[in-house]
Amino acid sequence: MKALAWHGKRDVRVDTVPDPTIELPTDAIIKVTSSGLCGSDLHLYEVLGPFLDAGDILGHEPMGIVEDVGAEVTHIKAGDRVVIPFNISCGQCFMCKDKHLMSQCETTQVHEYGSGAAFLGYTKLYGQVAGGQAEYLRVPQAHFGPIKVPEGPSDDRFLFLSDVLPTAWQAVQYTDTPGQGTIAVIGLGPIGLMSARIAKHLGNRVIGIDLVPDRVARARRDGIEVFDLNDVDDVIAAVREVTGGRGPDAVIDAVGMEAHGSTGAKVAQTAAGLLPDVLARKVFTEAGIDRMEVINMATELVMRGGTISLSGVYGGAASPMNLLRLFDKQVKIRMGQANVKRWVDDIMPLLEGTADPLGVDDFASHHVPLTEAPGAYKAFQDKTDDTFKVVFRPHG
């Protein structure tokens, strides 16, 4: 089969690899009909090479048609249409069943790195499991994970249940702002914009902050109040001015470690990436630093006693945080990988029927064959051609 594989920094290629097969009775095989390109994939493209091997298959936002199932998989069968969560979780352990934290599944935790649940296509840190930017995919823990969806609507109606929708939904839920509050969203990429749409749908006032012209324009078309960092000298003062001088009830950081403007952190990340892998892994896991501009902005923006919800990925073990300021302002912080299956029952009613309140049908900016994936990664990283959200069609 054809699959998109990592071969080095900014080097991804469409390789011919063996077709996946059932390895365990809890496995399934799907024919991938659509697979998203996530902002988190760019961390692999740029920064996390020490945790990858040449040939690792990328991608964690797939859906498709079931081809085969293992003996212990009974809730889906060949021919079913399914979305695959990026979390690989069992649904039966304490973390899954009692705490509803599928991202911390005790069955698939990666103990070698002290990491939470494994997930698709995402480095040795998370299990080095082959990903879904491929023609076919082996789905581990398929007795629990796959989400069966109806025939009829296009893939785009349901595809984003794999990651974007539950990640954004959790980001909003973690703000502890149940409606009629004010939420600022920093970063209006796919997760940030969907978070803004969800927060608005749930009755909140939403203020967006970004500097990419296409993203600013998209958010404004959605009726979001947007502060363009290219036009505002002091965004913290500007937001306070429109929020009674206090700031918003909550701030969602939808950017994470790829924030613009931190030259020192960028140099450190780049230098670590040049070390031999065994040394670079130690630097990242014990002394790595993130670009902290966005979380520092969130700390200043949020009102006293408010909440910061982190959905942007951070990876540094030694990142400096302004704990004095956070403590003084009595700020709550919630974060973590999305617990996909926890939120599906809340989201699914918004996807069924003819209405499209979250605008998923036209959310993707580009649909391309898998053969064009290397160029799509470059355009997404460089923010060219108004590349906002890419969906691959592995079978054309």
Q: Write down the domain spans for the chain.
A: 2-163+339-393, 165-335
The pLDDT value given to residue 261? 41
The pLDDT value given to residue 283? 45
The dotted CATH code for 165-335 is 3.40.50.720
Mean pLDDT in residue range 314-320: 70
| Per-residue model confidence as pLDDT tens digits over 90-148 | 999 999 999 999 999 999 999 999 999 999 999 999 999 999 999 999 999 999 999 99
Is the pLDDT score of 280 beyond 60?
A: no
CATH architecture under which domain 2-163+339-393 falls: Alpha-Beta Complex (3.90)
The pLDDT value given to residue 292? 79
Query: What residues pair up with 206 in beta bridges, in sequence order?
Result: 183
Q: What span, in angstroms and rounded, lies between the C-alpha atoms of 13 and 11? A: 7
| Per-residue model confidence as pLDDT tens digits over 343-371 | 999 999 999 989 999 999 999 999 999 99
Is the pLDDT score of 289 beyond 60?
A: no
Is the pLDDT score of 51 beyond 70?
A: yes
Same fold: 2-163+339-393 with 165-335: no
Between 316 and 290, name the one with better pLDDT: 316
**Helix, strand, coil % (nearest 5) of the chain?**
35, 20, 45
Mean pLDDT of the chain: 92
**What proportion of the chain, given as a percentage, has pLDDT over 70?**
90
Residues making up the chain, counted from first to last: 396
Indicate the range of 13-17, 45-49, 181-185, 349-353 predicted with least confidence: 45-49
Query: What residues pair up with 182 in beta bridges, in sequence order?
Result: 205
Which residues, 6+ apart, have CB-to-CB distance to 56 below 8 Å?
5, 6, 121, 123, 128, 130, 131
